Structure 1
Amino acid sequence: MSNVLSTGTSALMAFQRALSTVSHNVANINTPGYSRQRVDFATRNPTDYGYGYVGGGTKIADIHRVGDSLATSRLLDAGGELARLQQLSGLSNRVDSLVSNNATGISGMWSNFFDSVSALSSNAGSTAERENLLAQGNALATRFAQLDGEFDRLDREVDAGLQSAVGEINRLAAEIAQLNGKIGSSGGKAAPDLLDRRDLLVSQLVDYTGGTAVSQDGSTINVVTAGGQALVVGATASRLGIVSDPFQPGRQQLALESQGQQIRLDERALGGRAGGLLEFRSSVLDPALAELGRIAIGLGDAFNRAHAAGMDLYGQMGGAFFDLPSPAVNAHAGNAGNAVLQASLGDVGGLDGRNVVLRFDAGGWSATRADTGASVPLTGTGTAADPLRVNGVEIEVGGAPANGDRFLLQPTAGAAGAISVAITDPSRIAAASPVKVSADLANTGTGKPGKPAVDDASHPDLLTPATIEFIDGNQYTVDGAGPYAYTPGQTISANGWRMTLDGAPAAGDAFTVGPTGAGSSDNGNAALLANLDDARTLNGGTVSLNGAVAGLTTSVGSAARQAQYSAEAQQVIHDQAQAARDSVSGVNLDEEAADMLRLQQAYQAAAQIISTADTMFQSILNATRR
């Protein structure tokens, strides 16, 4: 009888605990990271009564999680990559919106500015058109500065995101290491819920850093980043910190804190959200900022050179229309020498906007791209007479550099925020050609002069009157110099100007080239300025300013779309990995309901065993009372 009671009691307790486990599964169906738990039953040790062994009932051998390590690993990998791409896509779309939207981009103001130049070319003497050109120039410069400022705010947002990520990474790593210690000391009997908690934290950590988790000794888990940096090893957690960029103290970088030292992490050493922030800054934000500056510099330089070749209403040659900043050169924080590098624009057509690292070693300079490390052609010695020349920039070296000293050259980054209109007086706009041509009234030929063009506005004799006199239809002199051979339609040039004649000049015909003078309503230079947006001045004379503006919009839009497509594809991969994990570890209500019904019936049967034992016991008691 006691065996019956013991057997029934063991079954009752085992089924009760199994029902509690099923209830626990149902209760946590919406708990993130929860893995379904399963009860394993085993028989209790039987008793030998001589005639044979009599079973002792049942017991719970183990309560363990149901899981697939490969499915969990795939989910970790997919989650870290998804976090990286979503971060990259979200920020890239914001840059795309800034550049492509007419309310925030430069395209609208760009068109308005050149429309105002065209309007001035149609009415060069109008004060209203001159005022409008200055207003549109200021509006365009303001828009450049606004867009540059938005890019700068995004850069600061990346820094703030990195600071926040570092705090979470350190917290998660420390907690995972602490759980590793508890689980490792449990002798392989850790609570399933504790294991789920650790897996959830590992998943959250990988979302920030990318990478994966590796099981060690079957109990603890090591977590490494996408670049192979160990964040958690057993019960020890590494710490990340924030350090200043050695070239740009206002910009922050990530560093691994080890033995009192901070080791800067390459941007490729992290995935996840932190990696997405760093990749956005290096592959989308910095190139867009540099290209915006290159467009501003290209516009300002081309417009200034053309404007300097015209004459204003005061009869003076045009000066700079835009004030342009010089390229920035920042010294590395660890430089030992006292060299100071001053950069200036050289060949704007050679500007590519990419940042360059200049390094001094063994008495000479070398240049490499800051993003890839690829070598960049460099000429010159760095003196005033022979400056260093790299990518359209000229650099003069002052002071004494030490071996190993490095400098970061930023040819165009931030330039868009510093461009401004240099003049305030509308009469200073050089809309007129500086020289004009007149034919002698006594000419007998049919030659008619066209508008002269200026090739060298700095020529000292540009405004000096000059007389072109034809000896016959095939020869001419310039202020008595010559004779020079002439064929109909050929270009005649001197003193920095050039011109052509329509028709056929006769012997004795004369033409006078002289300064336009003050108060002229001539529109020769304004007409040239109006067409500068289509002039191929960038990329060695292969890309126009309009093409560069369109190229900026296209490149940013392409990067944003690529990141979005990649994020959408990764979302599908992640969902599939999540479904694969849930198919094994997730709670299925139908299955749990069936288990609960089965265990309930078993529990009731066990209770009936106890009831039977009680009846047997009462029967014995009743028999002894007689």
Structure 2
Amino acid sequence: MSLLSQIGYSGVRAMQVALTATGQNVANVKTPGYSRLGVEMGSLSGHTALSSGRGVQVNNIRRIADDFVNRQLWRATSDQGLNETRSKYLDSLESLMASEGANISGGLDNFYAALSEATSTPDSIALRQQILNEAKALAQRVNGLSNNIEAQLNGLRGQREAIVVELNGLTENIALLNKRITHVEASNGDAKALRDQRDALVQDLAELADVRVQEAADGSFSLSLANGEPLVAGPTAARVALENNATKDQEFTLTFAGTEFKLGVDVAWGGQLGGLHDAEYNSLRATQETVGQIAKGIADLFNGVLNTGAFDVNGNPGQDLFTYKAGSISQVLEVKDLAPEELAFSSNAAEPGNNVKLLELLTLKNQTVPGITIGGATANVTLNDAYATLLGGVASASRQSQADAETSKSVQAQAQSQRDSISAVNLDEEGVNLMNYQQAYQANLKVITTAGALFDSVLGMF
């Protein structure tokens, strides 16, 4: 009878543990990153071949998580961070370039239209003033576009600095959790909640950078970048810093265990940092450089006509209309302070009404400019075609980036759903568990009651 009671008591204790684990799951149904608990039970063998056994024991309370699925989720999160960050900047760049106030092709068309209108009366002061106005408007478009791209670059650099601060905070916290987890588990303590917290931090870190995760035998994580640069090893975290060089590049420096690594600007970060690098060097900077080349082409083409065998209304030799300033951002193209009479449209000093040079200016619309780099390739194209091709390339890259962002978002959602199907709490499933464990608990109490009744019956025989 005593053995029957022990079996019943073991069942009661096991069901109490199972009910507690289920209650913990239900309580954390809305806790982000929580991994549900599962109770593993084992039968206790009897002492002899004729024994039915000695009841049940709880072998383990398991944190239900799949490391492979978690790593898939972290990689998907990193890809999503990269694509969404890049898409945001490309979309802004496309909107900027296509806007009426920044479209260089529109400014060139207006300038050519003003030149064409003056061909019949090239000595008209009013029409000459209109040409100067359109030249200034064209320069303003060029400068405004260059300046706005620089503003986006400055915002991007500021975002990179903020991400580095966040990254350092995450790696430090992960290293701290590594230390706590190894200490708790070494003393046979419960580190399940700590592991959930660490997984959540790793996912936050994966959004910022593409990280590789390895778990050591002591339960600690080692994190590194795709190229192997260490970020966390056990209780030790790296520290990342940014340095601005003379060319406005932000170079990374990584310090780990007293050793400093220069990572440069092209380290394969992935995540949001990778998206920022792609947007800066493959889109914003490249576009700004091409805008500068177009500005130089404008100055070279038009000045080449106006200061070569050309004369103004007063018979004076022609002067440059545009000034190109290499290396400038907000004043890359300027219009010289000329009076309308000083525009050199005549090929004869004695004929102020001569329009030969004016007509020659109009032919520049179809003249190619050598050495303009668009999309990484150098081509000889007209000024209008250069900008149209540049805008088309940015628009195409923006659409592709948006598609990549949508795809990566869907992949990340699927990876999250797969993780949740394994680790997240399902209230329907937990409700069934509660009923089953409650019934088993009551049944074990019935076993104890029955054992007591049998024992009382035996005593009553004496």
Q: In the alignment, is the contact (CA less than 8 A) between 1:267 and 1:275 conserved in 2?
A: no
Aligned residue in 2 for 1:501: none
TM-aligned CA deviation for residue 229 of structure 1: 1.0
After superposition, the C-alpha distances for 1:92-122 in whole angstroms (9 at most, x for unaligned) are 1111111122244333323222221222223
Summarize the Cα distance change of 1:27–1:115 in structure 2 as closer, same or farther, 3 Å threshold: farther
Aligned residue in 2 for 1:230: 230
Which residue type is aligned with residue 273 of structure 2?
A: A
Which residue type is aligned with residue 230 of structure 2?
A: A
After superposition, the C-alpha distances for 1:421-454 in whole angstroms (9 at most, x for unaligned) are 1023111111222x2xxxxxxxxxxxxxxxxxxx
TM-aligned CA deviation for residue 592 of structure 1: 2.3
Which residue type is aligned with residue 547 of structure 1?
A: D
Of structures 1 and 2, the one scoring higher in RCO (CA 8 A, sep 6+) is: 2
Secondary structure at the aligned position of 2:118 is classed as helix
Aligned residue in 2 for 1:580: 418
Aligned residue in 2 for 1:420: 334
Instruction: Map 1:327-342 to 2 at 5 A.
Output: 327-328=326-327
Confirm whether residue 294 of structure 1 aligns to residue 126 of structure 2.
no
TM-aligned CA deviation for residue 241 of structure 1: 0.6
Q: In the alignment, is the contact (CA less than 8 A) between 1:36 and 1:586 conserved in 2?
A: yes
Q: In the alignment, is the contact (CA less than 8 A) between 1:212 and 1:226 conserved in 2?
A: yes
Deviates more, 1:570-579 or 1:207-216: 570-579
Secondary structure at the aligned position of 2:34 is classed as coil
Q: Quote the Cα distance in structure 1 between the aligned partners of 2:381 and 2:88.
A: 30
What's the C-alpha RMSD, in Å, of the aligned pairs? 2.6
Secondary structure at the aligned position of 1:538 is classed as strand
Aligned residue in 2 for 1:19: 19
Aligned residue in 2 for 1:388: none
Aligned residue in 2 for 1:164: 162
Confirm whether residue 76 of structure 1 aligns to residue 106 of structure 2.
no
Which residue type is aligned with residue 75 of structure 1?
A: L
Q: In the alignment, is the contact (CA less than 8 A) between 1:78 and 1:574 conserved in 2?
A: yes
Deviates more, 1:106-115 or 1:2-11: 2-11
Which residue type is aligned with residue 210 of structure 2?
A: G
Q: Quote the Cα distance in structure 1 between the aligned partners of 2:219 and 2:451.
A: 44
Summarize the Cα distance change of 1:123–1:22 in structure 2 as closer, same or farther, 3 Å threshold: farther
Confirm whether residue 550 of structure 1 aligns to residue 382 of structure 2.
no
TM-aligned CA deviation for residue 266 of structure 1: 4.0
Q: In the alignment, is the contact (CA less than 8 A) between 2:321 and 2:338 conserved in 1?
A: no
TM-aligned CA deviation for residue 255 of structure 1: 1.5
Gap regions ≥5 residues in structure 2: 373-378
Name the structure with the higher strand share.
1
Larger-gyration structure (1/2): 1
After superposition, the C-alpha distances for 1:120-175 in whole angstroms (9 at most, x for unaligned) are 22331222211111112112212222111111111111211111111111111111
Summarize the Cα distance change of 1:526–1:173 in structure 2 as closer, same or farther, 3 Å threshold: same
Secondary structure at the aligned position of 2:39 is classed as strand
Q: Quote the Cα distance in structure 1 between the aligned partners of 2:57 and 2:264.
A: 53
Q: Quote the Cα distance in structure 1 between the aligned partners of 2:11 and 2:120.
A: 102
Q: Quote the Cα distance in structure 2 between the aligned partners of 1:214 and 1:266.
A: 26
Q: Quote the Cα distance in structure 2 between the aligned partners of 1:275 and 1:70.
A: 23
Aligned residue in 1 for 2:358: 526
Which residue type is aligned with residue 368 of structure 2?
A: R
Deviates more, 1:554-563 or 1:299-308: 554-563
After superposition, the C-alpha distances for 1:180-205 in whole angstroms (9 at most, x for unaligned) are 12222313755322212111111211
Q: In the alignment, is the contact (CA less than 8 A) between 2:90 and 2:279 conserved in 1?
A: yes
Q: Quote the Cα distance in structure 2 between the aligned partners of 1:317 and 1:223.
A: 70
Which residue type is aligned with residue 120 of structure 1?
A: A
Which residue type is aligned with residue 320 of structure 2?
A: A
User: Under a length normalisation based on structure 1, what TM-score does the superposition of the two structures give?
Assistant: 0.67
Deviates more, 1:569-578 or 1:418-427: 569-578
Q: Quote the Cα distance in structure 2 between the aligned partners of 1:605 and 1:238.
A: 56
Instruction: Give the one of 56, 59, 70 matched to 1:58.
Output: 56
Q: Quote the Cα distance in structure 1 between the aligned partners of 2:216 and 2:196.
A: 17
Aligned residue in 2 for 1:9: 9
Aligned residue in 1 for 2:370: 538
Deviates more, 1:540-549 or 1:95-104: 540-549
Q: In the alignment, is the contact (CA less than 8 A) between 2:249 and 2:265 conserved in 1?
A: no
Gap regions ≥5 residues in structure 1: 329-413, 436-514
Q: Quote the Cα distance in structure 2 between the aligned partners of 1:157 and 1:253.
A: 16
Q: Quote the Cα distance in structure 2 between the aligned partners of 1:120 and 1:205.
A: 62
Q: In the alignment, is the contact (CA less than 8 A) between 1:121 and 1:530 conserved in 2?
A: no
Q: Quote the Cα distance in structure 2 between the aligned partners of 1:313 and 1:170.
A: 67
Confirm whether residue 559 of structure 1 aligns to residue 397 of structure 2.
yes
Aligned residue in 2 for 1:488: none
Q: Quote the Cα distance in structure 1 between the aligned partners of 2:115 and 2:337.
A: 15
Which residue type is aligned with residue 568 of structure 1?
A: E
Summarize the Cα distance change of 1:604–1:526 in structure 2 as closer, same or farther, 3 Å threshold: same
TM-aligned CA deviation for residue 560 of structure 1: 1.6
Q: Quote the Cα distance in structure 2 between the aligned partners of 1:118 and 1:27.
A: 78
Number of residue-to-residue matches in the alignment: 452
Q: Quote the Cα distance in structure 2 between the aligned partners of 1:54 and 1:282.
A: 74
Name the structure with the higher helix share.
2
Confirm whether residue 194 of structure 1 aligns to residue 32 of structure 2.
no
Which residue type is aligned with residue 274 of structure 1?
A: L
Summarize the Cα distance change of 1:431–1:415 in structure 2 as closer, same or farther, 3 Å threshold: farther
Instruction: Map 1:185-584 to 2 at 5 A.
Output: 185=183, 186-187=185-186, 190-217=190-217, 219-245=219-245, 247-248=246-247, 250-258=248-256, 259=258, 261=260, 263-309=262-308, 310-325=310-325, 327-328=326-327, 414=328, 417-433=331-347, 435=348, 515-517=349-351, 520-539=352-371, 542-584=380-422
Aligned residue in 1 for 2:100: 102
Q: In the alignment, is the contact (CA less than 8 A) between 1:538 and 1:545 conserved in 2?
A: no
Q: In the alignment, is the contact (CA less than 8 A) between 2:118 and 2:128 conserved in 1?
A: yes
Q: Quote the Cα distance in structure 1 between the aligned partners of 2:289 and 2:300.
A: 16
